[in-house]
Amino acid sequence: MIKHIFKTAILGLSLSVVSLQLSAQTVTEPQDTPAEWSRAYTPFQLAGNLYYVGTYDLACYLITTSKGNILINTGLAASASLIKANIEKLGFKFADTKILLTTQAHYDHMGAMSAIKQSTGARIMVDEKDSDVLADGGSSDYALGGNGSTYQPAKADRLLKDGDTISLGNMRLVMLHHPGHTKGSCSFLFDVKDKTRAYRVLIANMPTIVTEKSFSTIAGYPDIAKDYAYTLSSMKKLSFDLWFSSHASQFNLHRKHKQGDRYNPLVFADRKGYDAAIEDLEKQFQKHP
């Protein structure tokens, strides 16, 4: 999704709001991020115990359980207080966040991760292939790295492999290794239910192409073309009832849901839209040098 050219400015990311404080470390975060990445969006119930708590375009998901809650993605660094407010607006305790997951180790999904971990004590679990990038705050990322950290570095409490299960309370999530966008990009499959029925949910990391460089010239990621091909093939075969992704725009959130709409999970039962999105990404991959 990130295709714009970096314009970086040194930002001292020591957040003093709502007790979400980063350690005194300076990182470089892109200055020209799209406005919709930080624009507030009213949180709402997606399906059963799954909730949208992100910004207008950077999707963050809260999964509530009998033993605490799981947060997937955290948006930009400045979104920490917004995510906290969204969780509390839904009636949940921010301090009940026990597990932090991400679909990819880029600054637009990891920016507030360290701050939220420090505030809540939640455990970070990440695809093992993104652990090094997480540990250096994105500085070693093959496409967006090279100019220092783009988000606060963090150490993973658990490294995940393809097919691993994340368990908390009554919830079981399966992590699917879907590399290409990053070396450890991943998706999550799990079941939720409401008073009417159960839903098989996919939170997909769509394999968009970040770099304009020829794949064959990327020395830091020699398997990138192979990984994209694997991911596209794998994602075509998935079965689910509802699907979401790392960016609201990728699954057409704003066409399917208007702020204030009544609870209606089936608006996200869009297999045709998912297949079309994967087909379009595959065409982009095939055309890429």
Domain ranges of the chain: 8-287
User: Which pLDDT value is given to residue 28?
Assistant: 84
Is residue 38 within 8 A of residue 76, CB to CB? The reply is yes
Q: How many CA atoms lie within 13 A of 101 on its CB side?
A: 31
Task: Specify the range with the lowest mean pLDDT, choosing from 19-33, 43-57, 226-240.
Answer: 19-33
Domain 8-287 class, CATH top level? alpha beta
Q: Count Cβ atoms within 10 A of the Cβ of residue 237 and give its class: 0-12 exposed, 13-18 middle, 19 or more buried.
A: exposed
Residue 27: pLDDT band (50, 70, 90) is confident
Has residue 203 got a pLDDT over 80? yes
What is the mean predicted confidence (pLDDT) over 161-185?
98
* pTM of full prediction above 0.85: yes
| % of the chain exceeding 90 in pLDDT | 88
Is residue 234 within 8 A of residue 176, CB to CB? The reply is yes
Has residue 139 got a pLDDT over 60? yes
User: Which pLDDT value is given to residue 2?
Assistant: 43
Q: How many angstroms separate the CA atoms of 121 and 100, rounded?
A: 10
Q: How many angstroms separate the CA atoms of 245 and 271, rounded?
A: 13
Has residue 51 got a pLDDT over 80? yes
List of residues 6+ apart from 168 with CB closer than 8 A: 65, 67, 68, 69, 70, 98, 99
User: Which pLDDT value is given to residue 29?
Assistant: 87
- What's the token pair of residue 25? 């470390």
Has residue 11 got a pLDDT over 50? no
